[in-house]
Amino acid sequence: MATGTEPSSQAGTNGVHTASRAAIPARHLRTDRWWLAPAGTAAGLLAFIVYSTWRAFSNADYYAAPYVSPFYSPCLAENCHTMRGGPNWEIFGSWWVLSPSLLILIFPLGFRLTCYYYRKAYYRGFWASPPACAVAEPHTKYTGETRFPLILQNIHRYFFYFAILVAGVLTYDTALTFRDENYAWGHMGLGSLIFLVNIALIWAYTLSCHSCRHIIGGRLRHFSKHPVRYRMWGWVGRLNERHMVLAWSSLISVAVADFYVFLLASGAFADPRFF
């Protein structure tokens, strides 16, 4: 008896429309607003891309003592603002004339681009691969991450090591915010609070990474023989359950921290001091 879903000889030869698949004329059977999630993801990521690109190439208003933008730290070129006690490491000489942020952003950017959650986010939001659950992707051929350039996603674990170093530098920057504009210690401003929240979220996102979880306990065969690593693996696992939330919140917090420094450096207002 015909059901209307038998394989059709008229079906396409690639993807979900092969002759061996059910011949359902509709692209999908979902009736909800499934497109809201990928559209919102694309909008959020696009907004951050536009903002961070502007800030990275502006090469201005990224330091207002004692605060330095996380987009420009550590500063690796001679054309950086001199930051007293700050992360001025002039590894690149005077020949580097572009924005110094371009030397450092490649590492946190590479870490996030290859992150398992962000892959899902921009695969769905920008490439529609697939756009949502139970919605066929428009591509006729799927090769996964086996070819260039997506095969480069496999270097995520190495970007994790660099992300740890960058988080360490930003932790140092946060400690320096407990100075005033004259570099005297024992002071706290609104910026100090913003930087504290930002570094806490960055560490939480970094440590919730799947690579971190694997490094700590993923290769152990007997947890009973490694109780300390097992306990740490459990902690990271609980963080990993919130990886998506931490990914978005840390992305927002790093942009807020940078924008706050921009406002201070551009003279929009003075940093309110608590003590």
Q: Give the pLDDT confidence score for residue 46 in this predicted structure.
A: 95
Question: What pLDDT tens digit does each residue of the chain (275 aa) get?
Answer: 455 555 554 444 555 666 676 677 777 888 899 999 999 999 999 999 999 999 999 999 999 999 999 999 998 888 888 787 777 788 887 888 899 999 999 999 999 999 999 999 999 999 888 888 888 888 777 777 888 888 888 899 999 999 999 999 999 999 999 999 888 999 999 999 999 999 999 999 999 999 999 888 887 888 888 899 889 889 999 999 999 999 999 999 999 999 999 999 999 999 999 99
Total length of the chain: 275
> How far is Cα 81 from Cα 61, in angstroms, rounded to an integer?
10
Q: Pick from 50, 43, 57, 69: which is nearest to 195 by CA?
A: 69
pLDDT of residue 18: 67
Q: Write down the pLDDT at residue 136.
A: 81
Give the per-residue pLDDT at 10. Answer: 47
- The conformational region for residue 33 under phi > 0 = left, psi -120 to 50 = alpha, else beta, is beta
Give the span between the Cα atoms of 191 and 270, in whole angstroms: 10
Q: What is the pLDDT of residue 28?
A: 80
pLDDT at 90: 82
Is residue 87 within 8 A of residue 75, CB to CB? The reply is: yes
* pTM of the entire predicted model: 0.88
Residue 194: predicted pLDDT: 98
pLDDT at position 17 is 63
Cα dihedral value 189, 194, 199, 200, nearest 10: 110
Report the C-alpha dihedral over residues 62, 68, 71, 73, rounded to 10 degrees: 130
In this predicted structure, what is the pLDDT of residue 21?
65
With contact defined as beta carbons under 8 Å apart, do 25 and 136 qualify? no
